[in-house]
Amino acid sequence: MRSDMRGLELGTGSGEAVAAFDEAVQHFLEYRADTGGLIERAIEADPAFLMPRILRAGALLLMGTNTVRPMIDAELAAIDALETPRNPREELHERALLAWARGDLRQASRHWETIIARWPLDILALRSLHFQNFWMGAAPYMRQVVGATVQHWDESTPGYGFVLGMLAFGFEECGEYRRAEHCGREAVERNGDDMWAIHAVAHVLEMQGRTDEGRSWLAHPHDHWNDRGPFKAHLWWHRALFAIENGAFDEVLDLYDAHIRPGERFVSTDMMNAPSLLARLEFQGVDVGDRWERLAERSTGWIDDHVIAFTDAHTMFPLARTGRTAEAEAYVESLERLQTQPSSYVAEMTGPYLLPVARATKAYYEGDFRACVDLLMPLRAALQPIGGSWAQRDLFHQLLLEAAIRAGDWPNARLLAQERIAARADNGLNWNKLATILDAAGEKQAAENARQRATTLAA
């Protein structure tokens, strides 16, 4: 038996297969589009080698859509048919994969925890656990698991920077921005191709209102990440957020058209990025043209696609925004069926979170702003379990604020705007919203003061 580049035993005697697998893991961590070809090369070198198939099935599951379910099932069948003995670590990887494939994120996470407790240099297990914690909104756990594991690594360990990038994101989601930025920038210095570390620093800059720095951090030519997978669209989404905060709305629309709108392959990150950006633009009064219509045409196929809870939280937006009443109602009915079958994490999230969010979104776009406020107000500080980041979940806070304004609910609108200012006093958009609310409430001088604050921040 041979070992990988970090000394972990692999169930193959082929040096060629190990070399291809090591490279595939590296490219997987860098979101490179050629990862699949490297996995195939490892399998061709040794068809009985388990770990490349584990990696391929995991990469398919990360796409977060049932459209690739036939491919996932085929890979699981191929894994089951392998007669090669598994070593204990590989057996745990297989168990984690099977739990993940049936939507049991907690059980999958327990298997990955066991792996990294016994083999802390297993970066594939660490990355998988990191992502599942993210999709379950377990920010403190993201921080503490990677923080414990990194103590077994050092600068000489291949892939050390990837662990720093994960630690950076865990720190950021827990509000430890100084530590997050330090780890993230060190990770990028070690490997400029580490998109997750780039992403972690972008989050820090977003949450601290360092808009100009954020735009500079992500100021790349449009072809910069052409060799990467779908995650690249999310980095362009972050660049668009900085542009929104600077009022550069034409730039945002250009970024949407060039990088964020779904392409030929429509995966879960597309369903998160695209509706979120269009809604945020409209909340600022921007005309987005027919982009909603084109997105909705692609979104009807997601009505029964319940793989990632955070994706589900976005599905209603294009359906309701374009007046597709039948499809919107079908989506609510699909969620209602799902909650009666609590066999997966997303099913568990349906009753307390996903159904209220879907109904609130539908109510907003149907003009029932009061219902939207009533549904979202109790959830505004409790949405972490649906996953995603603070920056991403801010969409639902913005939706709630817009609904309160349109409902003429000035006390709640003012409260919500002031909550946003308490968190981000450096954000001119928040001060402009408060000015609008104060104007409507007849507090003209306070409104003028808020507008002046927004103008000062924009200068």
What is the pLDDT, as a whole number, of residue 340? 87
Structural domain includes residue 412:
yes
Q: Is residue 419, in this structure, part of any structural domain at all?
A: yes
Of 145, 198, 194, which Cα lies nearest the Cα of 170? Answer: 145
The predicted pLDDT at position 1 comes to 78
Handedness of CA 78, 81, 85, 91 (dihedral sign): positive
Q: Per residue in 194-226, pLDDT tens?
A: 999 999 999 999 999 999 999 999 998 889 999
Segments in the chain below pLDDT 70 = none
**Confidence at residue 352, expressed as pLDDT on a 0 to 100 scale:** 97
Q: 195 lies in a domain?
A: no
Structural domain includes residue 204: no
423 domain residue, yes or no:
yes
Q: Rounded distance, CA 309 to CA 43, Å?
A: 33
- Residue 213 vs residues 174, 186, 204: alpha-carbon distances, Å: 21, 17, 10
The predicted pLDDT at position 457 comes to 87
Per-residue confidence (pLDDT) for residue 189, from 0 to 100: 98
Q: Please report whether residue 31 resides in a domain.
A: no
Can you give the pTM of this predicted structure?
A: 0.96
Encode the chain in three state secondary structure: CEECCCCCEECCCCHHHHHHHHHHHHHHHCCECCHHHHHHHHHHHCCCCHHHHHHHHHHHHCCCCHHHHHHHHHHHHHHHHCCCCCCHHHHHHHHHHHHHHCCCHHHHHHHHHHHHHHCCCCHHHHHHHHHHHHHCCCHHHHHHHHHHHHHHCCCCCCCHHHHHHHHHHHHHHCCCHHHHHHHHHHHHHHCCCCHHHHHHHHHHHHHCCCHHHHHHHCCCCCCCCCCECCCHHHHHHHHHHHHHHCCCHHHHHHHHHHHHCCCCCCCHHHHHHHHHHHHHHHHCCCCCCCHHHHHHHHHHHHCCCCCCHHHHHHHHHHHHHCCCHHHHHHHHHHHHHHHCCCCCHHHHHHHHHHHHHHHHHHHHHCCCHHHHHHHHHHHCCCCHHHCCCHHHHHHHHHHHHHHHHHCCCHHHHHHHHHHHHHHCCCCHHHHHHHHHHHHHCCCHHHHHHHHHHHHHHHC
pLDDT at 416: 97
* CA-wise closest residue to 433 among 445, 456, 410: 410
pLDDT of residue 341: 81
Determine the structural domain holding residue 445 and report its residue range.
Answer: 408-458
Residue 280 in domain: no
Count how many domains the chain has: 1
Domain assignment of residue 413, yes or no: yes
Confidence at residue 265, expressed as pLDDT on a 0 to 100 scale? 83
Tell me how far apart the terminal alpha carbons of the chain are, to the nearest angstrom.
63
What are the structure tokens assigned to 193, written together? 């191709």
Q: Give the whole-angstrom CA distance, residue 164 versus residue 160.
A: 7
Distance CA 251, CA 253 (A): 5
